Structure 1
Amino acid sequence: MLEKIYKGIAWCLAWGDKKQPQFDISILEKMYKATEENQIPPEAQPIIDKVQKLQDIDNYFPGKITDLRDGKYGELWDEKTPIGLVYGGATKIKQYVFEAAKLTDIRGASAILDKINLVDLPEFFEPGTKSRKWLDEQRNFPGLSQALISELVVYSTGGNILVFCPAAFVDDLANAIEKRYTEETLTANSCAVGSTFRLLEIRFGLLRENIENTPWLDWYKQNCQDKLVESYFRLSERKTDQEKRENFQNRKSFNELTSKLAALFNQRRNGNDDVNNNRPSRKYPPMFETHPYMRRDEGDRRIAVMQTDLPNNPYYSEVLARKHLVGQITKRDSRQSWYDRGGFDWKLDKKDRENLKSWGDKFEDFLKKEGKQESYNPEFHKLEAARSLRELGNIYNGFIAYIYADGNNMGGYIQKIKTPEEYQKFSKDIFEATERSVYFALAEHLHPHQLKNLTDPDNENRNDGWIHPFEILTIGGDDVMLIVPANKALEIAKTIGERFEEILAKKKGYEPEKSTYDPAEIHRYAKEPPNENKSSLSMSTGVLITAEDTPVYYAQNLTEQLLKSAKKRAKKLKEQNYLGGTIDFLSLKSVTMVSSNIEEFRKEGLIKERGSKLKLYAAPYTLHEIGGLIESVKALKESKFPKSQIYQTRSFLEKGKNTAILNYRYFRARLESKDKQEILRSEFEDVWCAAKTNGGNIAPWMYDEEEKLYETIWREIVDIYEFIELGSREQGVGSREVGESGSFING
């Protein structure tokens, strides 16, 4: 029998290339419901046979294009009925989510997008759902819904959707996807595109009108060194006939169809009109006019339409009102009557509210399923979500951390996906691995927090309440955005990366091409360095530790820069066969420390010429190195290395290699006991700073033989010193920690 995806393909063929089906709708329904071959209507049997034959193609790949016509797949060659394929999703997501400053509004914006991505769009393909009824409204796309079945969906996670559909409905479905985003969010950008393909193309990639004229393997072998051919097929270094064949075969598959849609997606997103001018232009994205003399909303972006009776009586535009309402629903805040008094047409019924399940609720479901409720919440306190960044900052001295993680090696893996069902499996596996890795990390490192010493008018009544000590902004595909307490940020980021690889390693199809690597070339932390890749896919992560009152958009921008830096490091290490995760982080104790660009800040301020080239930082790190960095900070605390001397050693780094070494050794020699000195030697000097040419060490420096410079982790040790705890998770809430640059912000 046909698998789910191929059942959808058969539906498209049976429908035909017109808006009216080529068979009576009753015949299509019988074909759809048939479970055995003898129950399939005779009219549809030839179609089922063709799709079955397509499904049964395993590793067959013809050496000549005409072999398809002359072999057992000749009837697929003759099939002319086109099949639609549509790809779409939200664009410029961060612009929509982070334009608001308050956590409730950010959460609400993210939840609205999640509802569209995970509920509304998949409901287009499910009979009797609210979104399906929306399609049938006269002002929308009447007639479209009857052509859609659930088996048409390839995937609908990660903020994007890929679906088959009957050829005549490609434009309608793409327009419906874009309209749904606009109608629900008013201002979020979205884009959807589609095209039609022949049955044979689903397995063998794009084919010309006259299939026999399609450039095929023999042509590729002759032209693979051409720059254009090399750019299109990639991996030009492959030279044997077998390698060339594999390279060509990887490209000439379903992957080539999705690549075409991705190119069309980028063109439309950039404002270019549809080639055939069949669709409304997207040159002018959704926007609302403003006026210099009219009241604007809290974000100072749009004209306000109401003043609420919420604390401080904020003014809301309808865009912001929707975000705030949904944010309240997801965090179980009952103060929602203000929205009804605004007279808005946009309403959420009971089912909508159920679909707006917060990530905190999903995390609690995970705890129950995994039996981790007691370890995470031993007292079984009734928990709520944090209502503001100040409440999250209340957990640890007014400091929070932004975590932004994204998958590595995804593009290379996708290049080798050859069939729709592999795409479907890949999407499901990645989303599951991402979501579960986040939940595992939060459950392992965090515990509920009781709010204390809140004094702001809008949250002082929250004192003594218990909250989840984190905020999940989004989990989409291989993307993760979190806000967590500053003192647990690096540990959480490390665990997310490790769990992601472990979960995928247990699934079939993610075995690494290179199972081992030379740890001496990869890890600068020499204590028990691993040398195995767990999975072909991994995660890179950016972590920003900052004060609770740092502007959200600014913090998000810096975190994204850190992620790009971590991914750059991962890409470089991949050349040495390391496929694991990387982390880059920055600790901001004042907003003005970095004006805009982290890379420029490091290049101009933290690389010095003092006889030798000195790099006063060591980020980004591998996951193993991050674990070592955390252990080294703990060792420094355990050794009772005076804090003033820690800062003084950092100041000596700029004065030159020898000066820094001499002062570090002097301060270490003054520690109160040899036991304390031994802790520092074994947990910092020997594992990080071993000399390359003898058995000694050059602490606090490391030598990078490739770059021919000296680098050090000491500056980053100082940056995170206050945020790493020796053992217990307990800490004094609202206490003040005083560092070199002044007092920390009080929670």
Structure 2
Amino acid sequence: MDKMNSVNIAIAWCLAWGSERQPQFDVSILQQMCDGLRNGGEVPEAVKEIVEQVRELEAISDDDFPKTLDELKQKYSNLWNQNTKIGLVYGGVTKVKSYVFESEKLPDIRGASGLLDQINVIDLPAFFNKPTESNLYRFYHQDVRKWLESNTEDRNLLEALIPELIIYSCGGNILAFCPAAFVDDLANIIEKRYTYRTLTANSCAVGETFRLLEIKFGLLRDNIEDTFWLEQYQETYKDELVESYFGKLEESSNIEENFKNRKSFNELTTKLAILFNQRRSGNDIRNRPTRRYPPMFETHPYLRRDETEKRSAITQANDIPGKPYYSESSAIKRKFSDRMKNRESQESDWYKEGENPIDDGWIQRFEKFLKNDDYREQKYTDGSNLENVKIAESLTHLGKVSNGYIAYIYADGNNMGGAIQKIRTPQKYQNFSQDVDNATRYAVFLTLAENLHPRQLQGIDESKSKLKNGDFIHPFEILTIGGDDILLIVPADKALQIAKMIGESFEKILLREIQIPEVEIKDGYEVKGKISETNKIHRFAKQISGNKQCSLSMSSGVLITAYNTPIYYAEDLTEQLMKSAKKYAKSLKEKGFYGGTVDFFTMKSVTMISSSIEEFRKKALTFDKLKLKLYAAPYTLPELERFFQSIQALQKTEFPKSQLYQIRSFLAQGRRTASLNYYYFRYRLNKGHLLKENFEDLWCPAKTNNGNIAPWMCDIKEDSKEESKYETIWREMVDLFGLIKFADTKSLEKLEQETKP
């Protein structure tokens, strides 16, 4: 027989197991069936009919969609009459930020994030006996299986779970098939694992059972004639209630296509998402223990409390500078973080852990990536020995190697919801999640390797640190990479270059323009149709060639700030910037541009913003009466490239700082005043021609004549009654003038040669 993909093996397994806790066939027969389907061999005679039904389901193409319910019953009566239901479970961690950022200390945050990632990527797949990529986990994997056995009342659960049942397990969530009788058991044990490992992290899991035909055609009523089908949808698709369920009809799709997108496996996952939100909100679900009462730790007025969480302390860490006290939940985070940092499990008497603790964190994975790529390892290490490069213990260390300023980067995928709504099969779900996860992870690794090098610590207080002056450290911290989410801390002088390259690499990996060894992008993500005209999208004057577009992209928020800015406050502002960039990307998509965007803000004092960045910009940087906007962010990725070109030119001109700030201060006094001062100072520069070519002609040409209106750009609203407004990149250039650095000094020399009169 031909081989089956993992999803169809999972479906065959669930059907062959049956509806009860005891399998309807001997387990050895089920295992023989799986081996045959994996390798293209024969399957036992007892299960051949089930395998044929799965193959019949697999053979249904996306174009083969019944127009009526009568056609559905007649054409697929064999599949509809299959009475055995298939379980589907969805779950994961919730309220991530309240757990990860509970403490403001970097080691605790690193430990919390790494712990959640390990549960999602290692522990939960181990329930299904799925082997891991790394040999580090060979003993830990056995421990997880033993824990599962001791925490379930029915040993059949262990035999009922096989690796193929997992559709995806990444980004903090898991979606998996399972035999119908174990849906509630599996959902309960997923929630229990998070509580067992973390004590305080919130998690939620739900499950439901579905008939075989529903995997292909969405939810069907027991009495199939009562199912809402295409004929009814065609009559009522404009109804508000119907539109809220099936989605608004897009111009590029027809009525039938919109209905087919919903009546598929997508409708099953939507039902689970609704159940997930209901359970997360504290609603009861039949046959399940309530999660209305989250874990709480009582305190006592006469007991010592944790220094950060104010819970009762159970231990004092004598081998950590300052000898802090920890509650059990915070001790778990700190011990996990220390193992990630030290690359080994060190015995200590202040908190005992279970057997076979694992220390595989994001920086270890980054180092493994480098060791598999000689070119990028040499580029990143720049002559350093990677084995001697250490991990930063605090934000102070990261600040000391970047002149006191660090940057937070929060990136999130665009167009993900729209893409998921059009996924019709579980196999496509699996491909999509793996492709996005790989593109996100390796975009970060590639970018860090290309833009950073280990940096040497100087100026730290050695009495409060295990690291010493002169030690080389990784100058970044990966707080999380999950699904399409990224949260990084990087040096301020490279932050925007990193954000830009992550967005570009993400798209290029999905388009297969960048190849990653042993990573296969399984689906296609190129936008079909006409490419948008760049003069309607990008605000710089020079046109760029129309390259192909990726249907998925990334929007990033970048906050550049002092290293001693409270991390929970910085994270909140960075998220605001990310949402602003996503909002801009959404508006550009309506014009036919699918690319990524970046919004950034330079905050040189904590008291600079009292409410939100949007409110600050509206009140301090926008002048409606003068029709002026003293900033230009967010930027598209091509705009950001030209923005770098302008800053390089500004740095090369040796513009006196006092004059830079003076021109910036005149921006709020009106267009003519600012322009007069700009041109006065620019003409006095020996290398002013660099700004003429790389700032004025690039960003500031007048729309109605051949002149320039520097330092302004005119934002003309075509086909709109709204008046034109003027914005400028000058303020943002000045803010970054002394912070941003470019590694390739030859590019500056080339820039000067190219722009000489």
The TM-score bracket by the shorter chain reads over 0.9
2:137 maps to: none
| Alignment root-mean-square deviation, CA | 1.9
1:392, CA displacement in angstroms? 0.9
2:111 maps to: 108
2:692 maps to: 681
Q: Counterparts of 1:223-262 in structure 2 under 5 Å?
A: 223-238=236-251, 243-262=254-273
Q: Counterparts of 1:541-552 in structure 2 under 5 Å?
A: 541-552=556-567
1:442 maps to: 448
Q: Deviations over 1:681-729 (max 9, x none)?
A: 1111111111110111111111111262111111111221111225458
Q: Deviations over 1:327-382 (max 9, x none)?
A: 011111669443x434x4x42x33x31xx312112112212222221121132422
For 1:50, give the aligned amino acid. Answer: Q
d(CA) in 2 for partners of 1:272 and 1:705? 51
For 2:325, give the aligned amino acid. Answer: Y
Q: Is 1:317 the counterpart of 2:319 in the alignment?
A: no
Which of the residues 259, 275, 280 maps onto 1:269? 280
d(CA) in 1 for partners of 2:744 and 2:299? 53
d(CA) in 1 for partners of 2:590 and 2:744? 40
d(CA) in 2 for partners of 1:291 and 1:625? 57
1:200 maps to: 213
Q: Assess if the C-alpha contact under 8 Å between 1:408 and 1:539 holds in 2.
A: yes
Q: Assess if the C-alpha contact under 8 Å between 2:412 and 2:485 holds in 1.
A: yes
Q: 1:124 to 1:533 in 2, by over 3 A?
A: same
For 2:242, give the aligned amino acid. Answer: V
For 1:704, give the aligned amino acid. Answer: D
Which of the residues 592, 609, 612 maps onto 1:597? 612
Q: Assess if the C-alpha contact under 8 Å between 2:215 and 2:425 holds in 1.
A: yes
1:376 maps to: 380
d(CA) in 2 for partners of 1:148 and 1:461? 45
Q: Deviations over 1:277-296 (max 9, x none)?
A: 21111112222223344322
Question: 2:627 is paired with a residue of what secondary structure?
Answer: strand
Q: Assess if the C-alpha contact under 8 Å between 1:502 and 1:534 holds in 2.
A: no
1:615, CA displacement in angstroms? 0.9
1:743 maps to: none
1:467, CA displacement in angstroms? 1.2
d(CA) in 2 for partners of 1:154 and 1:318? 34
1:176, CA displacement in angstroms? 0.6
2:730 maps to: 714
2:596 maps to: 581
2:157 maps to: 144
Q: Assess if the C-alpha contact under 8 Å between 1:68 and 1:77 holds in 2.
A: no
2:709 maps to: 698
Q: 1:496 to 1:530 in 2, by over 3 A?
A: farther
Q: Deviations over 1:532-578 (max 9, x none)?
A: 44210000001111111111101111111110000000001111011
Q: Deviations over 1:664-684 (max 9, x none)?
A: 11111222x2xx121011111
1:464, CA displacement in angstroms? 1.2
2:749 maps to: none
Q: Assess if the C-alpha contact under 8 Å between 2:525 and 2:552 holds in 1.
A: yes
d(CA) in 1 for partners of 2:433 and 2:40? 30
1:37, CA displacement in angstroms? 7.6
For 1:11, give the aligned amino acid. Answer: W
1:285 maps to: 294
Q: Assess if the C-alpha contact under 8 Å between 1:515 and 1:534 holds in 2.
A: no
For 1:283, give the aligned amino acid. Answer: R
Which of the residues 15, 18, 21 maps onto 1:16? 18
Structure 1 window deviating more from structure 2 (24-33 vs 147-156): it is: 24-33
Q: Counterparts of 1:307-346 in structure 2 under 5 Å?
A: 307-309=316-318, 310-332=320-342, 336-338=346-348, 340-342=349-351, 344=352, 346=353
Q: Is 1:95 the counterpart of 2:110 in the alignment?
A: no
1:742 maps to: none
Q: Assess if the C-alpha contact under 8 Å between 2:459 and 2:469 holds in 1.
A: yes
Q: Assess if the C-alpha contact under 8 Å between 2:621 and 2:629 holds in 1.
A: yes
Question: 1:169 is paired with a residue of what secondary structure?
Answer: helix
Q: Is 1:426 the counterpart of 2:469 in the alignment?
A: no
Structure 1 window deviating more from structure 2 (54-63 vs 578-587): it is: 54-63
d(CA) in 1 for partners of 2:7 and 2:74? 27
2:518 maps to: none
d(CA) in 2 for partners of 1:422 and 1:530? 32
2:569 maps to: 554
d(CA) in 2 for partners of 1:334 and 1:246? 54
Q: Assess if the C-alpha contact under 8 Å between 1:410 and 1:537 holds in 2.
A: yes
For 1:51, give the aligned amino acid. Answer: V
Q: Assess if the C-alpha contact under 8 Å between 1:538 and 1:580 holds in 2.
A: yes
Question: 1:295 is paired with a residue of what secondary structure?
Answer: coil
Which of the residues 38, 58, 61 maps onto 1:58? 61
Which of the residues 365, 368, 374 maps onto 1:365? 368
d(CA) in 1 for partners of 2:336 and 2:530? 46
For 2:601, give the aligned amino acid. Answer: L
Q: 1:37 to 1:678 in 2, by over 3 A?
A: closer
d(CA) in 1 for partners of 2:58 and 2:451? 45
Which of the residues 467, 476, 483 maps onto 1:470? 476
Q: Assess if the C-alpha contact under 8 Å between 1:533 and 1:580 holds in 2.
A: no
Q: Assess if the C-alpha contact under 8 Å between 1:515 and 1:533 holds in 2.
A: no
Question: 1:501 is paired with a residue of what secondary structure?
Answer: helix
Q: Counterparts of 1:144-163 in structure 2 under 5 Å?
A: 144-163=157-176
Q: Deviations over 1:107-149 (max 9, x none)?
A: 1111111110100000000077322221110566643212111
Q: Assess if the C-alpha contact under 8 Å between 2:123 and 2:144 holds in 1.
A: yes
d(CA) in 2 for partners of 1:46 and 1:311? 66
2:552 maps to: 537
Question: 1:457 is paired with a residue of what secondary structure?
Answer: helix
For 2:429, give the aligned amino acid. Answer: Y
Structure 1 window deviating more from structure 2 (381-390 vs 477-486): it is: 381-390
1:531, CA displacement in angstroms? 3.7
d(CA) in 1 for partners of 2:455 and 2:524? 40
d(CA) in 2 for partners of 1:34 and 1:460? 55
2:670 maps to: 656
Q: 1:280 to 1:468 in 2, by over 3 A?
A: same
Task: For structure 2, list consecutive stretches of 5 or more residues without a partner in the other structure.
Answer: 131-140, 513-520, 747-757
d(CA) in 1 for partners of 2:229 and 2:156? 40
Q: 1:431 to 1:19 in 2, by over 3 A?
A: same
d(CA) in 1 for partners of 2:142 and 2:55? 30
1:515, CA displacement in angstroms? 4.7
1:31, CA displacement in angstroms? 2.0
Q: Is 1:623 the counterpart of 2:655 in the alignment?
A: no
Q: Assess if the C-alpha contact under 8 Å between 2:339 and 2:345 holds in 1.
A: no
Which of the residues 200, 216, 233 maps onto 1:187? 200
Question: 1:376 is paired with a residue of what secondary structure?
Answer: helix
Q: 1:539 to 1:97 in 2, by over 3 A?
A: same
1:247, CA displacement in angstroms? 1.1
Which of the residues 31, 34, 52 maps onto 2:33? 31
For 2:89, give the aligned amino acid. Answer: V
d(CA) in 2 for partners of 1:519 and 1:571? 16
Q: Assess if the C-alpha contact under 8 Å between 1:141 and 1:176 holds in 2.
A: no
Which of the residues 203, 209, 213 maps onto 2:226? 213
Q: 1:292 to 1:712 in 2, by over 3 A?
A: farther
Question: 2:103 is paired with a residue of what secondary structure?
Answer: coil
Identity among equivalent positions (%) equals: 55
1:273, CA displacement in angstroms? 1.4
d(CA) in 2 for partners of 1:334 and 1:15? 42
For 1:303, give the aligned amino acid. Answer: S
Q: Deviations over 1:253-307 (max 9, x none)?
A: 1111111111111111111111xx2111111222222334432212143111112
2:84 maps to: 81
Question: 1:34 is paired with a residue of what secondary structure?
Answer: helix
d(CA) in 1 for partners of 2:525 and 2:289? 41
